[in-house]
Amino acid sequence: MRAFDRLIRFCKDWTLPVAIVVGTVVYMAFYHIPQLDRLGTQLMPAVDVLFPLSVFMTLLVTFCKIDFRQMRPHRWHAGVLVAQLLLVAACVWVVVAAGDTPEQKLLWEAVLTCIIGPSASAAPVVAGKLGGNISTMTTYTLLSALASAVLIPLVFPMLEHTAHAEFLPAFLIILQKVSLVLLLPLALGWTVQHTLPRLQRRIVSVPDLSFYCWAFSLSITSGVTVRNIVHSAASPSLLVQIGAVSLMLCFVQFAIGRAIGRRLGEEINAGQALFQKNTALSIWVAYIYLHPVASVGAGCYVLWQNIINSLELWYHDKCQRRQKLGAMT
């Protein structure tokens, strides 16, 4: 019984890495066991429904908790958006300069997908667990989605002549995808708060419900990421480079965001805002408008960012437990 309790405790402490491992193991099992191949094909339509549904539920639960009166622009929003714009400009310059070396160009296009994407829809969930402000974080997520919807159709045609990303159609497609995932649960969360208070109290009363919904969607994302890497046409050396650079980029964006937030009084939110990306959207736009190999960058990034998120949450919980013990003595 003690071993079982320890296992449960471990899964709670390291929920995100456990979700990554589960998604990876499940995909590899279906990939290597011929008997499961047909079942995997049959389950794909269900997976295609479950993933957006789990993200939707993650955000709906989160938005049932936020104070909509606090959803207004802050100085740190502008600081993080400017930092993202400068990083995108620097990366575009490197991609153009690497035009004569195809592998290096693909490497930096993969890096660009990890920078140009909007802040993750679930960033308010993690920021809230770290003690950040969910309301102001949600505001930034909306602003970031709009900024990326403008940047992507402007930037991608400069890099790939095959990227027929006319501004208005691409802008509307990206905005539509973001709206379905972000704005609809936001509107429903406001509706529940103001018209269904009993339901709102029940949702809020379940501890970490939004976090575990996100962990479920992460397990699906991990399986899809591993599938993309396994079926990638890129050379192993390029895949290793993309994985290593995406890891370094996690720390770079995290450090820049934290530095901006430290100066403007929102260290937790700003760090998560610049660092935690909507990789599902980044993978999609890279696959459609750049090159399938470039989408591997965002796929690797989602694994790294959630491992780092887990370390953040572990350290935050550890500090809280120390504070409680100190208060009791």
Q: Is the pLDDT of residue 37 over 90?
A: no
Q: Is the pLDDT of residue 54 over 70?
A: yes
> Which position has the higher pLDDT, 85 or 207?
85
Q: Please report which confidence band the pLDDT of residue 13 belongs to, taking 50, 70 and 90 as the band edges.
A: low
Report the pLDDT value the prediction gives residue 271, as an integer from 0 to 100. 92
Q: Please report which confidence band the pLDDT of residue 249 belongs to, taking 50, 70 and 90 as the band edges.
A: very high
Report the pLDDT value the prediction gives residue 44, as an integer from 0 to 100. 72
Q: Which residues contact 179 (CB under 8 A, 6 or more apart)?
A: none
Q: Please report which confidence band the pLDDT of residue 203 belongs to, taking 50, 70 and 90 as the band edges.
A: confident
Q: How far is CA 126 from the centre of its chain?
A: 10
Report the pLDDT value the prediction gives residue 61, as an integer from 0 to 100. 80
End-to-end CA distance of the chain: 30
Rounded to an integer, the average pLDDT of 235-248 is: 89
Position of tokens 């691409």? 170
Q: What is the DSSP string of 97-125?
A: HTTT-HHHHHHHHHHHHHHHSPBPTTHHH
Q: What three-state secondary structure class fits 163?
A: coil
Rounded to an integer, the average pLDDT of 282-309 is: 82
Q: Please report which confidence band the pLDDT of residue 170 belongs to, taking 50, 70 and 90 as the band edges.
A: low
**Chain mean pLDDT for the chain:** 80
Q: Is the pLDDT of residue 100 over 70?
A: no
Q: How far is CA 228 from the centre of its chain?
A: 17
* Ranges 4-8, 29-33, 83-87, 105-109, most confident: 83-87
Report residue 232: phi and psi, to 5°: -70, 145
The C-alpha atoms of residue 246 and residue 257 are separated, in whole angstroms, by 16
> What is the pTM for the complete model shown?
0.80
Of the candidate ranges 89-93, 218-222, 287-291, 294-298, the one whose mean pLDDT is the lowest: 287-291
Q: Is the pLDDT of residue 161 over 60?
A: no
Which one, of 113, 87, 106, 117, lies nearest residue 239 by Cα?
106
Identify the bridge partners of residue 277 per DSSP, sorted by sequence position: 119
Report the pLDDT value the prediction gives residue 80, as an integer from 0 to 100. 94
Q: Is the pLDDT of residue 82 over 90?
A: yes
